[in-house]
Amino acid sequence: MATLRIAAASAHFGRDLEFDLRRIAKLVADAREAGAGLLVLPDAALGGYLADLRHPDPDALPPALDPDDPLLKQVAELAAEMVVCVGYCEAGGDRRYNAAVCVTGDGVLGRHRKVHLPAGEVAAYDPGDRFDAFDTPAGRIGMLIDYDKTFPESARSLALDGAEIIACLSAWPTSITNRAPRMAQDRQSRLFDLYDCARAAENQVVVASSNQTGALGGMRFLGQAKVVGPGGDILARTWSKAGLAVAELDVAAEIANARRVLNHIGERRPGSYRAGSG
């Protein structure tokens, strides 16, 4: 039996890149102390998320980093033997992407650019165009960035590409249009948990879901980092607090057990589905 400890982080990040790097270093150290082989940090952990999702200020956007920026190399150095997924704003010529990179001390293992952009993000970012899984010392992993997980096709694409673990990096806020008096009653709080569990259960994979906490501008973030098993059960969670959700499991064995009787991937009927074209 080959067990893996997976840590999903709930923490606050802002525009101060040096502060963000120090916070990442602390989370990496905490995850290492907990024995984690995989750490999933939130979306926009380097540079923070948008301060206003409805009308982003073009003069106050997160700093855009090149794919080989020294800060990302420093994260890889901090990771050392651990696999670490981290979100940032990526510069691509005259375009900007909400992006994530997965690293170890040996370098980059995989990249993802957020494909599904909610209305406000369209003014700040360009969309990515693909979902790819990749091999790591922690197993085959695929990454999603917050709104991506709203679409079942996103996680399914990664599962079909052999992903055993889906890392969902988020900067997911409370409801902007219908704020609840308590976070536990917030519509987005309920959906955030629902999507995590549904994506794991329908694909029979492990989901490691990170998120930001605290506030930035008019945005208040949910936290609720968690690790979800391939049956859709939450194995560890932070609730709304900052910290790490850490779970230990034999990923391959848990997936095999979940698919022993009902194998969702193997029992699909692609010829019966509408592919859609727009």
pLDDT digits (tens, 9 = 90+) for 65-91: 999 999 999 999 999 999 999 999 999
Residue 218, pLDDT score:
85
Burial class (CB in 10 A: 0-12, 13-18, 19+), 58: exposed
- Is 168 in contact with 208 (CB distance < 8 Å)? yes
Residue 277, pLDDT score:
63
What token pair was written down for 15?
């525009």
Residue 179, pLDDT score:
72
What token pair was written down for 4?
């893996």
Share of the chain above pLDDT 70, in %: 99
Q: Which DSSP symbol is given to 122?
A: G
Share of the chain above pLDDT 90, in %: 90
Domains of the chain: 4-268 (3.60.110.10)
Max Cα separation, the chain? 54
- Is 96 in contact with 90 (CB distance < 8 Å)? yes
pTM: 0.97
Stretches in the chain below the pLDDT threshold 70: 1, 277-278
Strand partners, 201: none
